[in-house]
Amino acid sequence: MSKIFFLLATLRFATACADVCNEDDGAYVMSTFPNVAPVPTCSEGYKSFPRPGYNWCMKIYPAILKNFTEAEALCTADGAVPSGHQNDVEESWITRTAITVQAEYGYTIGGVWLGLHITLGCDYTGFADDSPNCGTNSFEWTDGYTTGSSQIKWAEGEPWQSNAYQCALMAAYSAGNFPDNDFEALPTQVINVACNTRYASRPFQTRTTIVCGKPPTEYS
Q: Which among 217, 212, 215, 218 is positioned nearest to 85, based on CA atoms? A: 212
pLDDT tens-digit readout, 106-148? 888 889 999 999 887 776 554 444 455 566 668 999 999 999 9
The answer to whether 212 and 97 are in contact (CB under 8 A) is no
The pLDDT tens digits of the residues spanning 150-190 come to 999 999 888 876 677 889 999 998 766 665 554 567 889 99
Q: What is the pLDDT of residue 28?
A: 45
pLDDT at 79: 96
Write down the pTM of the prediction. 0.76
